[in-house]
Structure 1
Amino acid sequence: MQAHPNVIAVQDALDAAGAAGSQVIILDEAVHTAAAAADALCIEVGQIANSLIFDADGEPLLVLTSGAHRVDTGKVAQSLQIGRLKRATPSFVKEHTGQPIGGVAPLGHPKPVRTLIDTALRQYEVIWAAGGVPQAVFPITYDELLRVTAGTPADVA
Structure 2
Amino acid sequence: MSPLKAAVLGLSLAAFPWFVMAGDFVGQASIIDGDTIEIRGERIRLTGMDAPESRQLCHDAAGRPWRCGQQAALALDAMVARRPVVCTVEGTDRYGRVLAACAVGGRDLAGWMIKNGWAVAYYDRLDRHSAAERDARTAGRGIWAGTFQRPEDWRRQN
TM-score w.r.t. the length of structure 1 is 0.32
Larger Rg: 2
TM-score w.r.t. the length of structure 2 is 0.32
Higher relative contact order, structure no. (Cα contacts within 8 Å, ≥ 6 residues apart):
1
